[in-house]
């Protein structure tokens, strides 16, 4: 009796499968990475606090020395907060909303130095509104759009980010306009690979966001962030 033929196995594209696995591993590693980022700084902060208490009990300690210990403690605490803030790019908070303008600013602040080195300038025109969007959503899609458009650009360009609130949604657009004059682009090789339009579309589909694109522009419609998780009492 012959064995029944095996069911066909659906093959995934190797690169897509590997990239998905890498992202999954990175997300699983995120808590450990965050711990390793801050553990030494937290130890420095604790030591500075202990030294500060001892100095307060010790007579004739120069004020400048006490000020330096206080500054060390403050810098360590700020470094811890910044490390945790950076780690949220890897492991975003659940149901975390952000003002539209603040979400745009976070993406621009992260990428502006790289873009400046490559000859790109960034101009923003954002409404003064308390309209809030999902932080993970705007970070993912706006950062991807900016990288995708600049990867495709052949010459130094002006990046124009515009936003407006239309029918209860944030209409966000990014245009790349080549700069006037005979300018040469800086040689650039991405650390991993260039982002393609298919990458951006896949991200938009996963987020349920409508995306419109052209050769030198991208437009997206981001929904208002409405909290669905139960309210939590902030620690005292």
d(CA 149, CA 173): 12
- State the pLDDT at residue 132: 97
pLDDT in tens, 109-134: 999 998 998 899 999 999 999 999 99
First to last CA, the chain: 72
d(CA 150, CA 157): 8
More confidently predicted of 177 and 215: 177
Confidence class for position 234, pLDDT limits 50, 70, 90? very low
> How do the domains of the chain map onto residue ranges?
14-87, 97-223
Enter the tokens of residue 95. 């149901």
Q: Is the pLDDT of residue 8 over 70?
A: no
- State the pLDDT at residue 73: 85
> What is the percentage of the chain residues whose pLDDT exceeds 70?
86
Q: At what angle do helices 135-152 and 100-117 cross, to 10 degrees?
A: 30
Q: Is the pLDDT of residue 14 over 90?
A: no
pLDDT in tens, 55-94: 778 777 787 877 888 888 888 889 989 998 899 998 887 7
Any residues with CB less than 8 A from the CB of 62 and at least 6 apart, and which?
none
- State the pLDDT at residue 137: 95
Q: Is the pLDDT of residue 7 over 70?
A: no
Q: Which of 4-18, 87-101, 154-168 has the lowest mean pLDDT?
A: 4-18
Evaluate whether 73 touches 50 at the Cβ level (below 8 Å): no
The whole model's pTM is what? Answer: 0.80
Confidence class for position 190, pLDDT limits 50, 70, 90? confident
Confidence class for position 1, pLDDT limits 50, 70, 90? very low
- What is the DSSP secondary structure assignment for residue 158, as one 8-state letter? E
- State the pLDDT at residue 48: 83
Q: Over the chain, what is the mean pLDDT?
A: 85
User: Which residues of the chain form beta strands (DSSP E)?
Assistant: 97-99, 121-125, 132-134, 157-166, 169-178, 210-213, 217-223
Confidence class for position 184, pLDDT limits 50, 70, 90? low
Q: Looking at the domain that runs over 97-223, which CATH code has it been given?
A: 3.30.565.10
């Amino acid at each position: 009796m012959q064995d029944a033929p095996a069911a066909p196995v659906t093959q995934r594209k190797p690169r897509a499968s590997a990239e998905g696995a890498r992202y999954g591993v990175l997300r699983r590693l995120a808590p450990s990475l965050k711990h390793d980022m801050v553990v030494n700084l937290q130890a420095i902060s604790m030591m500075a606090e202990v030294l500060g208490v001892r100095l307060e009990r010790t007579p004739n300690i120069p004020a400048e020395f006490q000020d330096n210990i206080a500054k060390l403690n403050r810098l360590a605490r700020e470094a811890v907060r910044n490390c945790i803030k950076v780690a949220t790019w890897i492991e975003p908070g659940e149901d975390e909303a952000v003002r539209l303008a603040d979400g745009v600013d976070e993406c621009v602040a992260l990428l502006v130095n790289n873009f400046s080195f490559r000859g790109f300038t960034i101009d923003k025109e954002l409404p003064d509104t308390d309209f809030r969007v999902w932080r993970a959503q705007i970070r993912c899609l706006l950062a991807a759009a900016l990288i995708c458009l600049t990867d495709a650009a052949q010459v130094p360009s002006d990046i124009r980010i515009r936003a407006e609130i239309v029918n209860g949604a944030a209409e966000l657009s990014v245009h790349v306009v080549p700069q006037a004059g005979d300018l040469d682009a800086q040689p650039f090789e991405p650390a991993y690979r260039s982002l393609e339009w298919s990458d951006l579309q896949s991200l938009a589909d996963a987020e349920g966001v409508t995306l419109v694109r052209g050769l030198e522009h991208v437009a997206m419609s981001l929904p208002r962030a409405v909290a669905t998780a139960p309210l939590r009492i902030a620690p005292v």
